[in-house]
Structure 1
């Protein structure tokens, strides 16, 4: 760990989740407001969605519309 201005050891905040630079306490786990906003934009656009394959149970229960219903 690096020392801060008071001479005390600064906690290791890791790397920015967007650009890889050192994270800052104010925007943790990001380094700047810009990187935090980039992440927020990705969430709002749905970029972080997890793809899911429909199971047979979903198809039998009608949870998945047929091709002609889409």
Structure 2
């Protein structure tokens, strides 16, 4: 038996969304805790916004149209 086990990664390495370097396993999908903290700070400051369409009518789902 070989003493060096061959381990295949579960997923391919992807680039860090902040800086583009290869992601690290401990901080996936980021490459470091620094990039992870930068992204968290942007969420907490409200820099990321999920937009909604203005023309959507807000109605009760139980109300027939």
Q: Quickly name the TM-score band, shorter chain normalised.
A: 0.5 to 0.7
What stretches of structure 2 of length at least 5 have no aligned partner? 59-65
TM-score w.r.t. structure 2 length?
0.64
Runs of 4+ residues deviating >4 angstroms: none
Q: Distance in 2 between matches of 1:22 and 1:37?
A: 17
What stretches of structure 1 of length at least 5 have no aligned partner? 1-5, 59-70
Where in structure 2 are the equivalents of 1:1-70 lying within 5 Å? 8=6, 10-11=8-9, 12-55=12-55, 57=57
Q: CA RMSD in A?
A: 2.1
Number of aligned positions between the proteins:
53
